Structure 1
Amino acid sequence: MGDIEIEVDDNRDSEDEVFVGDEVFTPGEAQPKDEVDERQITEDEDIENQEQQDPIPYTIHGNEDHYDRDEKGNLHLLLHTEESLPKRVKKFYKRRYQLYSLYDKGIHLTTELWFSVTPERVAEITARIIKHFIPDAVDVVDLCCGGGGNTIRFAKHFDHVGAIDINQININCTLHNAEIYEVRSKIWSVVGDWTELCNSSDWVPERIRHKKIPFDFIFVSPPWGGNQYDRDVFDLETLKPLGLKKLCYSLKKYSKNFGLFLPKSSNRDQIDRITRKLYGKKGKCRIIELYNDGHYVGILLLYGKKVTQPIDYHDLNDDDYQIETLSDYEAEMAEAEKAKNPQSEDIENSNDNSEMSE
């Protein structure tokens, strides 16, 4: 992971210029079988045709078929084998234990969730980072919760976690999966469109509805546009349901501290400009680069006084999650520099010896 704290300097001539201090570290209703079309989906069928077909019924782990219906009444198979997955997402099946270590316990995922759920390691690191910054936090929200990857890990660390999604089936998956991880009792849920929810407080739990700023932290992993998002420079105003600017303003109404999981190709100039608009010329945000199994998967963008405070990365060390500290990074960079230019080391040693002899 890399942590980049963007700080706007008042003395700059151009409003588009920023000072960047770089600190880096890696730290449902069941459908009866006899009513379901049992035709097989072949590898050669068109993807669109695959998705229009009824799912293949089967029994796994002694359970009956796992289906849910969307608002149009279409059936969705939620408990998959590799054979039951549509062709376009079969490649993700081999990563099932990265998504959920307890996958074999009966994890539910829709086709879309297979490529949009946050990997468990990344979600756990995210939760630990927030816990480090806000240790006394009680009420946390996971907006666009999807299959509950982040919701579950937040519930491991915080007492009350809200799961919000526009899709009822996603909420069903989140609550089912949370039951497997034994954190269901900590989670409350809302089905709704954030563009409407953000204009009221009716959805906020009654016990904290009286608070002007009800939540200690809000997290959102908004849709990036599926597998086809721009991997060169991602325009953050194309995020759904709201572009980054409006999304941040809406989150700020409900929490003083919030974070977003965004593509690694996110436009940093847009982040700079939005930071200025949110908090003025001296405003700060923190960008943490998130890795999974050695692969750079995205950034955690943090806003708020508590989550942009100075951090001792050594406190985030964890052998299980292989979080690499700033000093580790600096040591690696120093070794790399020595390998590139061994003569500089000889000169440095020579200077050291001269100083000692003097």
Structure 2
Amino acid sequence: MSVFTRSDRHRVAVFVRHGVLPIEAGIVHRLFGRVRGADGRPLYEVATCALEPGVIGTDSDSDLTLNVRHGPEALAEADTVVLPAAEEDYGERPHDPIDPALAAALTRVGERTRIASVCSGAFVLAAVGLLDGCRVTTHWMSAGYFRAMYPHIDLDPDVLYTDNGRVLTSAGVASGIDLCLHMIRTDHGAATANQVARNTVVPPHRDGGQAQYIKLPVPAPERSATARARAWAQENLHLQPGLAEMAEREAMSVRTFTRRFREETGMSPGQWLTQRKLDLARQLLEGSDLPVDRIADRAGFGTGASLRQHMQAGLGVSPSAYRRTFRGTANAESAEP
């Protein structure tokens, strides 16, 4: 009997283990479960599975357990598999071999199935060879263990998530939200992901390259040293705001503004501006029939060639290909000069 009841929906399996962090499993259900098409129809079906169905202890299992209905057969049926962290990932003997039953279960995952880890779930994917040749991340506190165990894998402990196509990884708990929204955005576009984020009351987009850990606390907006400049730039992307103009709005030198900006956002002003421009361009490609040159101008890229270059570098697609994917318009090619 099939684990999933609907063949017309993208099937997501959340593979949990004893000691699972409940919030990480819940994130997947909450976000994917909120995605609706234009007709209100759910676009994903989510099922939780484990090595054996039944009660699964969490990292607070004296107080909270999960009653999991499905076994590893769900992995073979899924279009996307998400592996949350478990308490065992943080053991004092990080070189212990992976449980053979766990390794065997993961062989059920199809070769074309998308698979993603949250936090230290990356250790399991690495142990079975799924991260070989990939750029990956995990929680920054586990980076030393990961490097000791898998020195051949390209680990970047400073980013929120990585996307290698089929295989994705994310850092700590909150970055699991970012990763799920990223997958939804990849599947159905920015407008759909933004609506899910609004419904869940979380930020709609944090770029995967954003720093995991900002050394100084992020200040409240009213006390932020760069908030006014960011708000102004966001509203005036068509004017192609620059670093000097933003610093002037906060009455700071460029050097001081750049330092404070990175402390508050975890990225440079240039990186932040490029991301905001790409966000606006994607929204206009999805929600308007404007030609690419007009979109490039409104988003602050200046020319269609510049927009194409940035989209290819940041997203791996051209504006016309992005529009075709997320709008399905027959005249997408004609909209791009």
Q: Which range, TM-score by smaller chain? A: under 0.3
- TM-score for both structures, normalised by structure 1: 0.26
Bigger strand share: 1
Bigger helix share: 2
Radius of gyration: which is bigger? 1
The one of the two structures with greater contact order (alpha-carbon pairs below 8 A, sep at least 6) is 1
- TM-score for both structures, normalised by structure 2: 0.27
